[in-house]
């Protein structure tokens, strides 16, 4: 098929949270969007409907595709489906991720399965998507990969020790891929701070509001990240200077310079004490 005249972006985890807002913001800039989801089919379809509405003025189209990024064959089929639909690929945003909320001192609760699952999705999945996408991205005049990391990689603070380790590994993957895929493809990352929304609300349970308020009081900018804030940063890398590669941009309202002031562990202790069902 003839390649689309409009740029094409694949957003893994594109139906919810940061992925959803990134999809909408790129659609407003005229990108065709491939929305990947693993389990959130309904949310992905709702996001696609919003893109269809946006597309009345921008020409953007949306395609929802189920794929488990931990499965290499799924990753390859995801890329193939995008090329079959539009004949080109310009941007890959590795936004799919997972975690398990486990207080750091409860090391006995961290299983081998937890380590394997988090690494397969957060690190191996990003690599597999990048590898599958690279041949098509090389043909773009501005091929890019954006990996969504976390300040947890540097602070060693977050939902669990395995999660922090996977994000540190993802930062290394960003640099490794940037060297490997240059000069045709630029690879960068985004490291959000605490993001308000369904993911953290589910993980923190009854402590969610308390943790949000504590972060708002302790952070230099006195606010926590919203998914749209992170999406804006992603778009800024995509549309900004073509001389930026191998970098991970921190978007955290000043969390990194404020230091370790709010503890997930304390919040999780309170949540688990209040509701044992939150232990998982």
- Tens digit of pLDDT for each residue in 14-42? 999 999 999 999 999 999 999 999 989 99
Q: Is there a domain that residue 203 lies in?
A: no
The pLDDT value given to residue 105 = 94
Q: Is there a domain that residue 217 lies in?
A: no
Q: Is there a domain that residue 276 lies in?
A: no
- Residue 274 binned pLDDT confidence (cut-offs 50, 70, 90): very low
Residue 269 has pLDDT above 70, yes or no: no
Residue 267 has pLDDT above 60, yes or no: no
50/234 Cα distance (integer angstroms)? 19
Q: Is there a domain that residue 141 lies in?
A: yes
Mean pLDDT (the chain) is 91
Q: Is there a domain that residue 244 lies in?
A: yes
Q: Are 172 and 218 in contact (CB under 8 A)?
A: no
Stretch 240-256: mean pLDDT, rounded?
Answer: 96
Q: Is there a domain that residue 207 lies in?
A: no
Q: Is there a domain that residue 206 lies in?
A: no
Regarding beta strands 143-148 and 185-192, do their DSSP bridges make them parallel or antiparallel, or are they unpaired? parallel
Stretch 38-58: mean pLDDT, rounded?
Answer: 96
Q: Is there a domain that residue 272 lies in?
A: no
Tell me how many degrees the CA angle 50-44-229 measures, rounded to the nearest 5.
Answer: 70
Residue 78 has pLDDT above 90, yes or no: yes
Q: What is the CATH number of the domain that holds 189?
A: 3.40.50.720
What size, in residues, is the chain? 280
Residue 155 has pLDDT above 50, yes or no: yes
Residue 265 has pLDDT above 80, yes or no: no
Which residue in this structure is represented by tokens 């690279």?
134
The pLDDT value given to residue 276 = 41
- List active site positions: 163
The pLDDT value given to residue 264 = 57
> Between 167 and 216, whose confidence is greater?
167
Q: What percent of the chain is predicted at pLDDT more than 70?
A: 91
Q: What tokens does 34 get?
A: 């491939």
Residue 93 has pLDDT above 80, yes or no: yes
In terms of residue numbers, what domain contains 157?
8-195+226-258
As for how many domains the chain has, the answer is 1
Dihedral sign from CA coordinates of 150, 153, 157, 160: positive
């Amino acid at each position: 098929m003839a390649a689309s005249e409009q740029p094409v972006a694949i957003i893994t985890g594109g139906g919810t949270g940061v992925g959803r807002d990134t999809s909408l913001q790129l659609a407003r800039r005229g990108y065709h969007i491939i929305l990947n989801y693993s389990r959130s089919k309904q949310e992905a379809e709702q996001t696609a409907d919003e893109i269809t509405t946006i597309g009345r003025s921008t020409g953007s189209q949306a395609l929802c595709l189920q794929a488990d990024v931990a499965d290499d064959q799924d990753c390859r089929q995801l890329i193939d489906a995008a090329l079959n639909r539009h004949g080109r690929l310009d941007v890959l945003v590795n936004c799919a991720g997972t975690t398990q909320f486990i207080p750091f001192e409860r090391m006995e609760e961290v299983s081998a399965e937890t380590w394997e699952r988090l690494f397969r999705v957060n690190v191996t999945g990003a690599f597999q998507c990048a590898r599958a996408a690279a041949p098509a991205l090389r043909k773009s005049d501005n091929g890019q990969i954006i990996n969504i990391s976390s300040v947890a990689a540097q602070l060693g603070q977050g939902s669990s020790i395995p999660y922090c380790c996977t994000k540190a590994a993802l930062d290394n993957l960003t640099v490794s891929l940037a060297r490997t895929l240059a000069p045709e493809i630029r690879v960068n990352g985004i490291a959000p701070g605490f993001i308000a929304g369904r993911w953290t609300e589910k993980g923190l349970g009854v402590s969610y509001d308390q943790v949000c308020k504590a972060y708002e009081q302790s952070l230099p900018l006195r606010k926590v990240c919203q998914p749209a804030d992170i999406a804006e940063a992603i778009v800024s890398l995509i549309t900004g200077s073509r001389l930026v590669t191998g970098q991970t941009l921190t978007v955290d309202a000043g969390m990194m310079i404020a230091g370790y002031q709010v503890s997930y562990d304390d919040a999780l202790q309170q949540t688990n004490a209040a509701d044992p069902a939150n232990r998982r």
